Amino acid sequence: MASPGLQSRITSLSTTHKQTIQLIQRLQNFPATPGTGDDARLELGAEIHLRLKEMEEQMELLRVELEQLEAAWGSTKRWGSGGAKEAKKERMVVVIGKLEEDLKSARLQFRKAQLQAKRNAEVARRKERQLLFAGVGGGEGGEGVRRKGRPGFTHDDLVASASEDVTSALRRTHQLMQAELSRSQFAQETLEQSTAALRSLSESYSSLDSLLASSRSLVSSLLRSQKSDTWYLETSFYILVGTIIWLVFRRILYGPLWWILWIPLKLTFRTAFVVLGGIGLANTSTSSYSSGGSVGEGSTMISLRTPGATIAVASSPMVHTVTLNGAVTSAADSQKTKTPQADNEDVLEKIEKIVGKESDHVERGTNVDDISPEERRRQEAMPRNPKKRMHEEKFPEDRKKDEL
């Protein structure tokens, strides 16, 4: 079913069309009497023009509403509605098409009526001029007859009557000039209005040009800002993703990875280093033992291990060798003065002293000055490094030193 607004618009359009047709017929049969102006005719033509313009606007609105209804009917037809709406749509299309044809015919009739009214006005003006000239000629002829029939008129009377005739003719001419002046004034006003409309149109076009230029600059600036904003957004997105990955790794994965991967690997490496170090020490001790085992017959090898030192003592009838952490102490005794039993007792006493000193070293730390005189003499006999500078402190000679 058509909307009530569409029905009311169609009804008002048909009523306006009938009234406009009546006005067009009135304009076509407009009476043109001599001496009357064209103001009434022009007003009637302007009113008809306004009505036709209103009809065109209403017709445009009808077309828009019809397109909307066709779209709505098309959507309902897809859902399988009946054919009654299709028939109503066709009927509405026919009515609107008929109204369009009536509007076109009304425009043609209006043009014909304007031409006919203009012709009638020209005929009326021509008759008016003919009557004016005929009246002037008839007045002169009647005056001549009157002058002939009345021979008693003086020259002054004839001049006065002629001047009266000229005055009346001038009055009629003045009236015609006033009418033409009013028409020219109306045309001038219309021209001024058209000039103002053209001026406003040119201003609107210039403002439109400036608007287009500003729109172009705005679009170019928007494109540039869009590129920079896109780059900023991409960079910010990558930074955000990196931050999120780092937070996830640091807060969630770091602890489990520390306990599951790093600590087992660390313990494995430490164990491997300890095992390899132990194997290397064992090999070193084995090689030193094998080298120390080459002492001749009659020699004795004693090896002691303390928490701070490793002591190896090799005794022979001629030489007693004591090894303390890599430092070798040798004692050569005369076989003539001492017996092997005494030598063994001296060696054991030296070993006990060395073990006691090493335990003291372990308890109170390492003392650089606490070395044997033989070691000191050996170190002093060694050449010094000329490139190495060391602070040498002078000790008093009477300082008490520990000796073996």
> Can you tell me the distance from the alpha carbon of 240 to that of 229, in angstroms, rounded to the nearest whole number?
16
> Can you tell me the distance from the alpha carbon of 88 to that of 2, in angstroms, rounded to the nearest whole number?
8
Most confident range, picked from 86-100, 194-208, 315-329: 194-208
**What is the pLDDT, as a whole number, of residue 326?**
43
Q: Do 178 and 63 belong together in one domain?
A: yes
- Report if residue 179 sits inside a domain: yes
pLDDT greater at residue 135 or residue 215: 215
> Can you tell me the distance from the alpha carbon of 83 to that of 73, in angstroms, rounded to the nearest whole number?
10
Do the Cβ atoms of 53 and 1 come closer than 8 Å?
A: no
pTM of the complete model: 0.33
- What's the CA dihedral at 91, 94, 100, 105 to 10 degrees? -130
Q: Do 194 and 304 belong together in one domain?
A: no
The contacts of residue 55 (CB under 8 Å, 6+ apart) are 13, 16, 17, 20, 103, 106
3-state SS assignment for residue 367 = coil
pLDDT greater at residue 65 or residue 203: 203
The domain boundary residue, chosen from 173, 191, 223: 223
pLDDT greater at residue 39 or residue 362: 39
The contacts of residue 302 (CB under 8 Å, 6+ apart) are 311, 312, 313, 314, 315, 347, 351
- Report if residue 239 sits inside a domain: no
Q: Do 54 and 155 belong together in one domain?
A: yes
- Report if residue 231 sits inside a domain: no
The domain boundary residue, chosen from 163, 194, 223: 223
Q: Do 15 and 123 belong together in one domain?
A: yes
Structural domain harbouring 31: 4-223
**What is the pLDDT, as a whole number, of residue 305?**
46
Q: Do 303 and 210 belong together in one domain?
A: no
- Report if residue 403 sits inside a domain: no
Q: Do 84 and 181 belong together in one domain?
A: yes
The domain boundary residue, chosen from 170, 196, 223: 223
Q: Do 193 and 340 belong together in one domain?
A: no
Please check the confidence at residue 293 and state whether its pLDDT lies above 80.
Answer: no
- Report if residue 163 sits inside a domain: yes
Most confident range, picked from 40-44, 239-243, 357-361: 239-243
- Report if residue 254 sits inside a domain: no
pLDDT greater at residue 402 or residue 216: 216
Q: Do 214 and 304 belong together in one domain?
A: no
- Report if residue 286 sits inside a domain: no
pLDDT-derived band at 1, boundaries 50, 70, 90: very low
Q: Do 52 and 174 belong together in one domain?
A: yes
Q: Do 355 and 219 belong together in one domain?
A: no
Rounded to the nearest integer, the mean pLDDT of the chain is: 73
Quick one: tokens of 47? 């009113």
**What is the pLDDT, as a whole number, of residue 171?**
86
**φ and ψ at residue 187, rounded to 5 degrees:** -65, -40
**Over the stretch 167-219, which tens digit does the pLDDT of each residue have?**
888 888 888 888 888 888 888 888 998 899 999 898 888 888 899 999 999 99
> Can you tell me the distance from the alpha carbon of 51 to that of 23, in angstroms, rounded to the nearest whole number?
10
- Report if residue 91 sits inside a domain: yes
Query: Which of the residue ranges 43-57, 248-262, 270-284, 333-347 would you say has the lowest mean pLDDT?
Result: 333-347
Please check the confidence at residue 330 and state whether its pLDDT lies above 50.
Answer: no
Quick one: tokens of 155? 């020259």
| Overall domain count for the chain | 2
Q: Do 204 and 343 belong together in one domain?
A: no
